[in-house]
Chain A
Amino acid sequence: MAKIQLKNVSKAYGNNKKVIEDMNLDIQDGSFTVLVGPSGCGKSTTLRIIAGLEDVSAGEIWIGDQLVNDVAPGKRGISMVFQNYALYPTMSVRGNIEFGLENMKIPKAERKKMVEEIAEIVDLTEYLDKKPQNLSGGQRQRVALARAMVKKPDVFIFDEPLSNLDAKLRGQMRTELIQLHKRLGTTFIYVTHDQVEAMSMGDEIVILDKGHIMQQAAPMEVYHNPANQFVANFIGTPSMNILSKSMVEEKTGTITDERISYVGFRPEHAAMQVEKLAASGINLSCEIITMETLGSETLYLVNSDAGQFQVKSFQAPLVETKKVDITIPMDKLYYFDTQGNRVFVEDIPFQTPAREVRGEVLV
């Protein structure tokens, strides 16, 4: 087991094309850390740098208390599960699992025992002598997992391991991986572009954009307390609604805090007229443009004089209605500055606070 530290790490390809810039990252020993971000954000590169598959242009990588910049990938105590599994196609399942052990010069009898134990755990015993191409996607995934586990590494690394599986299997593997992490207690680093995976699996989420860490925190912290507009947009489906200052001011009066340029709120926090209304909030009369019914919830895209935004409601869908009044509670508002960074305020920063609402239908 080991903690991992990146200190001022930069990575550039070719002519100054910087993929990662001056990154500082601490991954706690035994944590399940998920690196998440849109494609091209540098999450896979970060992972490959930790594994030693890519060199860094500058900076230091520490695993445990060892500086590993010049340590070969196989000697870093890391096992990796690849997106496309990277199983050796010419070897049987047993051969695949055993390959790393043979390289470590573990005696044959012991190897056999280890392989059979692992096969038992991942439920592959009857497939040990099959070739990977005769297995289903889920089974291949388990072979890759077994191959990683059998080496008893200090750190497990996963590079979008579930993206080649169908939705149902993905859900199942997600649970299995969480259980595996609980049982092994080893450090897990997991890369995904899927925020649902990130939120549901990680005990720590690192959100990346364009080679920079946007926020590193626990999943619910990231959701409730985004550090900036990027995180607010990236986490949560649908993403946070962002309205510009001037549009909001028309409804609420001047915003007193000069740092604020944008006001955001989550679609699920906006209350529609039929629901129990929040104590105080911004009231908007809106027109429903589209409606998506998802069973337990309904998504509306609405148009108001403060702009277009989305509302998520858990009430029965409003099939006939075209016009609705929507209240956005004051205490659920997020404020951002011109750079998109979060502005934290003590009090509600409006000159004339919005009209008090007392459970009555608003005009």
Chain B
Amino acid sequence: MRSAKWRPYFFVAPAIIVFLVFFIQPIFYMIYLSFHDWNFISPDKTFVGLGNFKDLLSDPMFLEVIRNTLMYTFFTVLFSISLALLMSIWLNKQGWMYSFVQGAVFSPHIISLVSIAMLWMWIMDADYGLLNWVLSLVGLEKVPWLTDPNTALSSLIIIAVWKNIGYFTLIIIAGLQSIPKHLYEAAALDRTPPWRRFAKITFPMLSPSLFFLTIIGILDSIKVFETISIITKGGPLNSTNTLVYYIYENGFIFFKIGYASAAGVILLVILSILTLLYFKVLSKRVHYQ
């Protein structure tokens, strides 16, 4: 019966091997690299202990990157979800116009991020852009959307919200439609005013959808890369430099692999903490049927 004991391991081995080689190994390799100084080419990797982390945490630029990333994530998720919620309450009706608007709002989701970046570069161009042209029509001053450190991050948030909102709306509408109609009838017989009906029935019943959107929204935003790489390259004055772009910049432009790996480890820690938080704290307040 010895063979029977090994059989299950034999069958799961291919999956385990793929998982170890392509998922687990790179993570450990990154952690290993973060303790070294390496320029990607030289055969020597100098062990520097926690040196990279010390440098990172004392680098004002890195702290700014962290701040940018958190601001970007927080406002992108906040506006995406709240606007999508308003949108879905408006669009959750029968009629061709509502379906049309739903489809139109969803369309950014199927466009590649690179195209979206190119499109918005034109829309937000300071001199020839669509937005500033519209502003000039109503007699307002031009806004340097992407070229001013004070507005660049907000502009990127607008683009992210524009892209997210359709998908978020779709998920929330699906959530709204799965709320049993008889609950609203019971609420009507219970003389429930509209605001209380939303707060006590609609919102709690939507919580699984909103919870899901918060998770994917945060993970997506923290890992933002394409739009920044194409539109602003982290500038102007580092004002749109976020964690993943910073890792890319240090690793593949400046070839400071150890330093970039250390930043990668910090990203890993942040994401792990967030994931744990969701499931420990948030899931207790979420209603699943």
Task: Give chain A's interface residues, CB within 8 Å of chain B.
Answer: 51-53, 72-75, 78-80, 82, 84, 86-91, 99-100, 103-104, 133, 147, 151
Contacts and interface: CB of A to CB of B under 8 A. Distances in A.
Contacts of A87: 186
B182 A84 contact: yes
Nearest to A99: B190
B183 interface: yes
A82 B182 contact: yes
Given A84-B182, A86-B180, A86-B183, A79 B196 contact: no
A53 B185 CA distance: 7
Contacts of B182: 82, 84, 86
**Would you call the interface of chain B mostly helix, strand, loop, or mixed?**
helix
Interface in B182-222: 182-183, 185-193, 196, 200-201, 204-205, 207
Given A84-B182, A90-B204, A78 B189 contact: yes
A100 B200 contact: no
A145 B175 CA distance: 28
Given A90-B204, A90-B287, A82 B191 contact: no
Contacts of B287: 89-90
B3 interface: no
Q: Which of A51, A73, A84 gathers the greatest number of chain B CB atoms within 10 Å?
A: A73
Which of B187, B189, B205 has the most C-beta atoms of chain A within 10 angstroms of its own C-beta?
B189
B289 interface: yes
A68 to B, nearest CB: 13
A19 to B, nearest CB: 17
Contact of B191 (A53, A89, A103): A103
Contact of B188 (A74, A89, A133, A147): A74
Interface residues of B, number: 20
A81 to B, nearest CB: 10
Nearest to B286: A90
Given A84-B182, A103-B192, A151-B190, 8 more contacts: A53-B188, A53-B189, A73-B185, A73-B188, A87-B186, A89-B205, A90-B201, A99-B192
B188 A88 contact: no
Interface string B150-190: 00000000000000000000000000000010110111111
Nearest to B188: A73
A100 B196 CA distance: 11
Contacts of A99: 187, 190, 192, 200
B172 to A, nearest CB: 17
Nearest to B185: A53
B200 A86 contact: no
B196 to A, nearest CB: 7
A87 B187 CA distance: 10
A208 B134 CA distance: 64
A225 to B, nearest CB: 36
A88 B183 contact: yes
B186 A88 contact: yes
Given A86-B183, A89-B205, A73 B200 contact: no
B193 A103 contact: yes
Contacts of B190: 74, 99-100, 103, 147, 151
Contacts of A52: 188-189
A52 to B, nearest CB: 8
